[in-house]
Each structure stands twice: as C-alpha cells, then as structure tokens.
Amino acid sequence: MTGILAFIVLIGVLITVHEFGHYAVAKLCGVKVELFSIGFGKPIIKAKWGETEYRIAWIPFGGYVKLLGQIPDDEPISPDDKGRALPDKSPFVRILIYAAGPAMNLLLPFAIIVPYVALADQYVEIEGSQVGALDQSMPAW
C-alpha cells in the first residue's frame, strides 16, 4: 500500500511541476490562465483565486492548464481580455509556454539533488575514483 501511495505522490509532484511551468510562463507573458488542474475528471477540491480556478481532480494521472483562447471554438473573448489570449501572442511566446512544462521536468532533478548533495554532512566520506591496486591475474593489469 505504501508503494502505491508513494507512486501517486511522485506522479502528483511531477505533474504539478510540469503544469506549473506552463502556468508561470503564461502568466509572465501576459496570457490569462483560466484553469489550473492537477488530475482529470470531476474536481475533489476547487478554489478560485484571482482570475484562475485551481482544481485537484479524481484521476491523478495528468493535469492541464487552460489558457484563454486555447480552444478555438470556445466562448468568445471579452473586450477586456483582448491581447491576453494565447492566439494573440507571437509564435515564439506560444513555443515558450508549451516548452515550459517539459523544461520544468528537466530542472526538477537538479532542484532536488543539488541541495541534497550540497547540504549533506557526510560529503567527506564519498569515495574517490582512483584505483587503489591492481591484481596481476586480472585483465586490468
């Protein structure tokens, strides 16, 4: 049971970091984020903070960020939001937004491992890569 729970937590962290990458870059580029969801299906918990609705849903194997204008046949864009929709941005900005999720997944291991190694108190005990001795009967000799 612990293994299943650990797997769900790990997947949840990966999904959250990935979707946060899309979310953060979209916000920095001035695109309105309508929905930030971890999981699919009906929401377990949802809250609206500012202009974005945040959700945690029942199926934990994915997530999504809904940006204004991302779905072409969705509701029309209000005059207040002109210039804040995804199609209004340049292709370079759209590429940045879409690439930010995988980029965050690539940065996550470094964000975890670097402090772990830097703050370890037993770094002196790490073995070096120098060979101590060779046996004459072995191929390395």
Taking 90 as the threshold, does the pLDDT of residue 92 lie above it?
A: yes
- Please state, in angstroms and rounded to a whole number, the distance separating the CA atoms of residues 133 and 135: 7
Active site residue 19: yes
Output the pLDDT for position 130: 75
Output the pLDDT for position 64: 92
Element (H, E) at 23: helix 2-28
Q: How confident is the model at residue 55 (pLDDT cuts 50, 70, 90)?
A: very high
Taking 90 as the threshold, does the pLDDT of residue 7 lie above it?
A: no
Which one of the listed residues 19, 34, 53, 127 is annotated catalytic? 19
pTM of the model: 0.78
pLDDT higher at 61 or 94 = 94
Output the pLDDT for position 139: 83
Output the pLDDT for position 132: 72
Taking 80 as the threshold, does the pLDDT of residue 125 lie above it?
A: no
Q: How confident is the model at residue 36 (pLDDT cuts 50, 70, 90)?
A: very high
Taking 90 as the threshold, does the pLDDT of residue 71 lie above it?
A: no
